[in-house]
Chain A
């Protein structure tokens, strides 16, 4: 296809304006995996175009091709109607494309201004570039309402501000098209709202924005058009105003999905977990948890909400037995050791605490081990899995097969290495291992991070089922929606403190969002 006949079939474009970006028949394979399959998409100038899809659907690959990180096996890219080759990111910048990554690429101890000119300096002397950049930056800030102090040092800025710097970096390089990859992952709800206001403003000034996300809510709120990806294919492109979250979810998964959790009201029993005055100091000497009190009762799910990095991970690590702490924790009325020899994962398991860790690929699983080796992990000293000094491989394999069947792990092959399962199936392997121990207390961190919508439903059902068996569950998640749907009671953590507790039926995202930002009681 040539550039001429693109103008021949512009259904959605205003007369005379070519799409800001048009991709035609993009395909890309990594080894046996077809990450992108014959993808065509047109993004009109001055719009916010959402791309939604589950993890592994191929969104990031597509954007990496657009930004010159990967070369497509097949297909063509048109920028403003002109066929463009993008062999590297320099070419992408030259073509007016700017990218804001999920993980910021900023030098922590440089100022905002220094970060902005990094890689775009003029000449060998720093001073003229800096003063020129300062002028341009102030113009940009004025034009788009993106206020940032040019002389502030990055590490002193909050995440929301750092993200603005990333956006300014792209604008400074004269980007007309901005790609944002999961931009709200690290933001509080309020910060996310601010971001969307900024995006609106950018659109009004004629910029084109591609927003990549897996959150339906953001798509509905922020975008004009949305494209859905599933298993490397573009399954639909629709006007946001003409669709609904349910329809998008169905397009993403390929079948009808239940978006809310079906559960009866909780009937909390006796206190299982009782935390008093817990403090955690990390290896660098920074106090991460600053004296918290928390109770979890039998038969209830207590959710810990908060932006990542406010002490939730440390809390889980202490309860899981691999970080030292001071204070007082009782489980079933018995004191837990918070340091020393008896403060390890094995003793915790012996006390009836099971733990689905936040980062299953780093902690919960050994990626190179087979599914059956992982099924024994943490419980490999269990007499049922041993015969003398040997591991009873046959018993473990048999158990794994049964667990895989009950938790619908696909493919149900105990010999397959953990890394070869999808995120959802990896999580099911961990869940099956921990839940089927029938623990008194289940710790569960980010239960559905990187898990496809189809599996989320199943995982939520399993957690609720365990609660209904009268077990105590402590849930940590950075997804507020998930906390509100799953937890019976919510505690919000900010800066190592618990800012407040609410019954989840009596609160909403707005109130929790304020607590998450450290505002309120």
Chain B
């Protein structure tokens, strides 16, 4: 018998965890002599109070959606893909090559090509650790972490020595041509009469990310491939008994995972920077782990968690801008959220389960 009703499991537990993280953050802010109420106020207005704020929140959320989904798919196969960072970097390379080498007539075609490039490069980067895990038993956590460093070194080399336009002092690729610039939310919403901020970087990729959520859900819970992935993740001995090949599932799940992480590059490289710069991913690969944890590896949960982390990113930036609260403290607040929603999950869950039990006994 399930101890808690589903709504409590899905909504109440993360909500209380968040509340606890917020309370602790407030104490820390008070300890350095700032007003926590004022801080919350600033964060909310900064991130959600204007279309400009929303534009940034959704831009960050788009990044986290892709990396969060990437980690989730691997989780369902029982694999811990920590390499989202590196896979997203390589995805950036795929996007840059697609945008620079092919003369696209229109952004609608370019985005298809860029998505393919991003997914292909991200997947290829995940394929090597996946193969090592499936065939040689090298632990995927170790190999994907190492591949993050290799990816950083590779991009560093390529941007400095190969892709940098002649005469430029900046380790970045050339700017993408005008035709492949993606429409921002401002461009998309203007025709239907909504005046969205022009300066905000949120763009059409957000819609692709939402579509990716739906597709991942469909893959995992409606197709037999998703069924095999989940079976393998729940029990390897059972999967073997059922005739599901561990090698094939490890490869397939990691390719999908790497592809999703790579697709993040459509947002930050093609949609925002419009060229490939050094360190374009900015840690979104790691945030994806927290997003997947908090979202219980369910696409809808991942969506909510990604928006929350987008809010924390944008609100945190505002906080650093307008108060004496140092940027480092923002990281502390984000860390507290990760700690409470991910690692300390049982701390909230156990007392809640007991409470529900008592209520149920009271009713009987």
Contact = CB atoms under 8 A, between A and B. Distances in A.
A82 interface: no
A378 B241 contact: yes
A389 B235 contact: no
User: How many of chain B's residues touch chain A, expressed as a range?
Assistant: 20 to 34
Interface stretch (A173-181, A252-260, A343-351, A398-406): A343-351
Interface in B2-51: 2-3
A364 B235 CA distance: 10
Contact of B237 (A348, A362, A380, A391): A362
B234 interface: yes
A386 B242 CA distance: 16
A174 B235 CA distance: 43
Contact of A373 (B227, B243, B245): B227
A32 B241 contact: no
A378 B243 contact: yes
A380 B1 contact: no
Nearest to B353: A31
A137 B41 CA distance: 73
B135 interface: no
A390 B224 contact: yes
Given A346-B243, A377-B242, A389 B237 contact: no
A399 to B, nearest CB: 15
User: How many of chain A's residues touch chain B, expressed as a range?
Assistant: 35 or more
A11 interface: no
B245 A369 contact: no
Interface in A375-431: 376-378, 380-381, 385-386, 389-391, 393, 420
A355 interface: yes
B224 A389 contact: yes
B225 to A, nearest CB: 7
A389 B353 contact: no
B222 A363 contact: no
A377 B228 CA distance: 9
Contact of B222 (A320, A345, A367, A390): A390
Interface in A35-92: none
Given A369-B231, A386-B224, A390-B223, A377 B238 contact: yes
B357 A380 contact: no
Contacts of A381: 224
A449 to B, nearest CB: 16
A369 B237 CA distance: 15
15 contacts: A345-B242, A345-B244, A346-B243, A359-B237, A363-B237, A363-B240, A366-B235, A368-B234, A376-B227, A377-B242, A378-B241, A380-B224, A380-B228, A380-B242, A389-B223
Q: Which 3 A-B pairs have the closest CB atoms?
A: A345-B243, A346-B243, A378-B242
Interface of B: 1-3, 222-225, 227-228, 230-231, 234-235, 237-238, 240-245, 353, 357, 360
Given A362-B235, A366-B231, A377-B238, 16 more contacts: A345-B240, A345-B241, A345-B244, A346-B242, A349-B243, A362-B238, A363-B240, A365-B238, A366-B234, A366-B238, A368-B234, A373-B227, A378-B242, A386-B224, A391-B224, A420-B1
